[in-house]
Amino acid sequence: DCAVNCAGVGAAMRTLTKNGPHPLDEFARVLTVNTIGTFNVIRLAADRMAQREADASGQRGVIVNTASVAAYDGQTGQAAYAASKGAIVGMTLPLARDLAPLGVRVATVAPGVFETPMMAAASDEVRDGLAKSIPFPPRFGSPDEFASLVEHVISNPYLNGEVIRLDGGVRMT
Residue closest to 29 by CA, chosen among 50, 46, 52, 13: 13
Handedness of CA 7, 10, 15, 21 (dihedral sign): negative
The CA distances from residue 62 to 1, 70, 111, in Å, are 6, 24, 19
Query: Do the strands 16-17 and 20-21 form a parallel or antiparallel pair, or are they unpaired?
Result: antiparallel
Active-site option among 27, 81, 140, 146:
81
Identify whether 72 is a catalytic site residue: no
Contact between 60 and 99 under an 8 Å Cβ cutoff? The reply is: no
Residues marked active site are found at 81
